[in-house]
Structure 1
């Protein structure tokens, strides 16, 4: 299939792109201007690298023309900072997605897979693990705009027959995760531990998250590309909760050394616990997470050590 991946050069997108290439798909990767390809592609890999502006109708139409599937991985904000400027969050993410959907209609492209946020759309859980029917009461603008986009996907499905799939991904971690964005406890903690920088923990360390290795996320997207069923929203998660304090212990075991921590006052937007049920994805997508937390941390640590040695 011919797939265009918006945001295909980043941490998540590049891993999905590599996995789709292994399946023999033809890719068009759309990135921001001045973003270079994340690696050199082989002559037998069908990849077209394109840069542009997601708010430009011209660029969107050029990217979507001739494609079979759109993978929408772009987000201009982060959960922790999205409340600082909700207007920008809506203008850049929701409006950009609507223009993308209009371009799909114009170019008669009938399938879109969107990365939603399992960690923010549900808010404070009413029960655990959280399934797809759980109430959605996000505490951050990031989660609100993700839900808005999900609703517009369903509207365009109803109006124009575009099959939409929203994957509510838990907390992804793994190789290629950017440290400078400070998104993702695993990446930040591991980086600090390797450089012997004390780790700052907001609250008492009891905040619990559902961490999933990026290879399992990429596999879920491959399954979604091929999915023809009637379900449109799936949790993509490990299904296991790990607190920040437990994560520190796991990292100490993997690295073989003690890690210094500083505990700071809790942040009001941090949901105390988020653990997602992935049963629907297992049943419908025939997908299951395969990478254990320990093995995932070992792989991520080896990659990060290699990257730090280059700098």
Structure 2
């Protein structure tokens, strides 16, 4: 199958590209390299430098994808609050223009990188399944939910098959420890340099950490499978506190570097955890990498082992 991966030079997207190539698919990548790195694109994938805000029409005309895996996005929650118009331009209009080009080029399948925590907001139930109330509290969460609603429209009106993959907190090799990055990458970078990390608040806030290799496999299954169109949680269903996460990383790295504690972030979710059971029943996907093993691989990538 010919698969176009937007954001395929980025952290998650580059792993998805590798998974698709390993499955024998023909892959093209489009990325503006604002955060991705061209050297992260696996050999064998065709690379186009471009911006999803223009819909990537030239790439569609040249490559004629049968499926699109859409990871290019504005992912900085803080920037979405400061610049909601920019967030919407990238995440809403960019997605919409890609969908319009799917219609024009005859693309039949669309896999969308969505979010679990930011869509559900403060949870009523733990872990949250896909039927949990959707109460985003940031423009980023609103934009991802809007993308899902557009996907439903295109499925009903135009027959486009889609999977919106609602990710938990993805971590693993190639994650950028600078800027709006996952806490695992930040901690690993500090441990590699022999520096103590700062934990916001008391550190008892929890997240569901899912390994990037497992996330890439979910994307491949969504491209190849025949699951009904809809949203699927991609997480582990297990909560881990920031304190416990840091303790595990120090233990694996053999470092004795007690953390500092700084002020908590205003509005930060206290708990976030999503239920992946539906993905297991429909996509045939389950997380295979336990947290200890995934952290070890991540530490090795950052040179902390």
TM-score of Structure 1 vs Structure 2, range by shorter chain: over 0.9
CA contact (8 A) 2:151 2:162 kept: yes
CA contact (8 A) 1:3 1:28 kept: yes
Structure 2 partner of 1:278 = 276
Tell me if 1:38 matches 2:39.
yes
Relative to the length of structure 1, the TM-score reads: 0.93
Note closer, same or farther for the CA distance 1:80–1:241 as it changes in structure 2 (3 Å cut): farther
Unaligned runs of 5+ in 1: none
Structure 2 partner of 1:139 = 137
Displacement of 1:33: 5.7
Note closer, same or farther for the CA distance 1:194–1:5 as it changes in structure 2 (3 Å cut): same
Q: How does 1:6-85 map to 2 (within 5 A)?
A: 6-32=6-32, 37-39=38-40, 42=43, 45=44, 47-57=45-55, 60-65=56-61, 66-85=64-83
Structure 1 partner of 2:219 = 221
CA contact (8 A) 1:61 1:107 kept: no
Note closer, same or farther for the CA distance 1:135–1:22 as it changes in structure 2 (3 Å cut): same
Q: Distance in 2 between matches of 1:186 and 1:259?
A: 15
Q: Distance in 2 between matches of 1:275 and 1:82?
A: 22
Runs of 4+ in structure 1 deviating by more than 2 angstroms, as ranges, are: 33-42
CA contact (8 A) 2:9 2:41 kept: no
CA contact (8 A) 1:220 1:287 kept: yes
Aligned counterpart in structure 2 of residue 112 of structure 1, from 110, 113, 120: 110
Equivalenced residue count is 302
Aligned counterpart in structure 2 of residue 152 of structure 1, from 146, 150, 157: 150
Deviation per CA, 1:10-31, whole angstroms, max 9, x where unpaired?
Answer: 1101101001111000001001
Aligned counterpart in structure 2 of residue 193 of structure 1, from 191, 194, 202: 191
Q: Distance in 2 between matches of 1:121 and 1:39?
A: 29
Tell me if 1:302 matches 2:300.
yes
CA contact (8 A) 1:89 1:145 kept: yes
Q: Distance in 2 between matches of 1:287 and 1:196?
A: 37
